[in-house]
Amino acid sequence: MSGKEILEQALKLKPDERFSVIDALLRSLDTPDASLDALWADEAEKRLHAYRTGNLAGIPFDEVFAEH
């Protein structure tokens, strides 16, 4: 069955059934990568340590989200 045929069939489903299909498809694309997660966790720890030791300055919330 082609992608077009699958889509045509999916569009015939009830809204809650379509949502379930969409949710399952999106979850299948978002597979965790343990090595990437470890890299981000390490980076976060380094940044937190740098902030706590005064080697990295924080930026106030208002400045980060201010419109320029």
Q: Are residues 39 and 64 in the same domain?
A: yes
Condensed to tens digits (0 to 9), the pLDDT of residues 11-55 reads: 999 999 999 999 999 999 988 889 999 999 999 999 999 999 999
Task: Give the contacts of 21 (CB within 8 A, at least 6 positions apart).
Answer: 10, 13
Is 12 found in the same domain as 27?
A: yes
The domain of 14 spans 1-31
Number of domains the chain contains: 2
C-alpha–C-alpha distance, residues 14 and 22, integer Å: 12
Check whether residue 41 and residue 25 sit in a common domain. Answer: no
Does one domain contain both 40 and 25?
no
One-letter amino acid of 47:
R
Q: Are 10 and 18 in contact (CB under 8 A)?
A: yes
Residue 7 has pLDDT above 80, yes or no: yes
What is the reported pTM? 0.52
